């Protein structure tokens, strides 16, 4: 049985003479919460686009949910969820309409959408708001809903790109409770974040610098290796060697 959700081998993305992603290799286990860190310009966004089936690598190889990034991009897209800081919800649709819309996009049957929608609204405690426009929701609720929609079709992997930007620490902690639950349900979580306290919540972390993976390990082991009690300091020690900026 395949135990690796993502396998990257010498993955490279080049634009002319510029290597946005420079020969990176790593593996992510099924059900793992994997932090993908790096300063602006490190190459995180470019790498994530390849893994989401939105861009082809220049060289190297990778599989996502068992599908090849060169030949099976459409199958990758059907087996992953995605959420960014900018969300993907429609403010001018109600909560239920958003859920139904994305359920259809992800290929969930009509009867299953109805069943799961009822369960989701109840789980989020939004029964009284289900027919309200998403645009009227507080930011924290939008984020929780966006995450729930991203895993509505029960994907094998969910990619979260800076998912908790702009909200208070308590709401961020609640959001991470949802991430833990998704991982417990078997969904692999691949997350980028600028918050180093969130890096502590991950099973393992990779840190990219100038297109390369410069460190990869558990938060505990990285802090031990860099002789510090803080992930902020680990990140600073690595990122200060960066030569470029802007993904």
Number of neighbours of residue 241 by Cβ within 10 angstroms: 9
Residue 108 has pLDDT above 90, yes or no: yes
Contacts of residue 240, Cβ cutoff 8 Å, sequence gap at least 6: none
Token match 């310009």: residue? Answer: 41
List pLDDT tens digits, range 180-235.
999 999 999 999 988 888 899 999 999 999 999 999 999 999 999 999 999 999 99
Output Rg (C-alpha) for the chain, integer angstroms.
Answer: 18
Q: What is the DSSP string of 63-118?
A: EETTEETTT-HHHHHHTEEEEETT----TTSBHHHHHHHHHHHTT--HHHHHHHHH
Per-residue confidence (pLDDT) for residue 245, from 0 to 100: 62
Q: What is the pTM of this model?
A: 0.93
Distance CA 102, CA 114 (A): 12
Contact 85, 135 (CB under 8 A): no
Q: Among residues 166, 161, 186, 189, which one has the least CA distance to residue 38?
A: 161
Is 60 within 8 Å of 47 (Cβ atoms)?
no
Average pLDDT, the chain: 92
3-state secondary structure of 172: helix
CA distances from 221 to 37, 215, 218 (A): 16, 11, 5
Residue 54 has pLDDT above 80, yes or no: yes
The pLDDT score that the predictor gives to residue 193 is 86
């Amino acid at each position: 049985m395949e135990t690796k959700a993502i396998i990257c081998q010498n993955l490279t993305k080049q634009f002319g003479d510029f290597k946005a992603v420079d020969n990176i290799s790593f593996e992510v286990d099924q059900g793992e919460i994997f932090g993908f860190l790096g300063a602006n310009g490190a190459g995180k966004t470019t790498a994530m686009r390849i893994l989401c089936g939105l861009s082809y690598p220049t060289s190297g190889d990778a599989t996502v949910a068992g599908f090849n990034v060169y030949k099976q991009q459409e199958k990758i897209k059907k087996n992953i969820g995605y959420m960014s800081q900018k969300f993907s919800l429609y403010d001018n649709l109600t909560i239920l309409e958003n859920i139904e819309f994305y359920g259809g996009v992800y290929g969930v049957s009509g009867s299953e959408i109805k069943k799961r929608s009822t369960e989701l609204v109840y789980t989020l405690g939004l029964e009284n708001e289900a027919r309200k426009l998403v645009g009227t929701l507080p930011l924290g609720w939008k984020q929780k809903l966006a995450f729930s929609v991203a895993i509505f079709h029960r994907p094998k992997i969910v990619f979260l790109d800076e998912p908790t930007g702009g909200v208070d620490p308590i709401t961020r902690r609640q959001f991470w409770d949802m991430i833990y639950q998704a991982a417990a349900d078997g969904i692999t979580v691949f997350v980028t974040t600028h918050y180093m306290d969130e890096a502590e919540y991950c099973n393992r972390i990779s840190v990219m610098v100038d297109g390369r993976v410069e460190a990869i390990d558990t938060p505990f082991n990285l802090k031990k290796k860099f002789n510090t009690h803080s992930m902020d300091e680990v990140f600073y020690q690595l990122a200060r060697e960066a030569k470029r900026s802007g993904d």
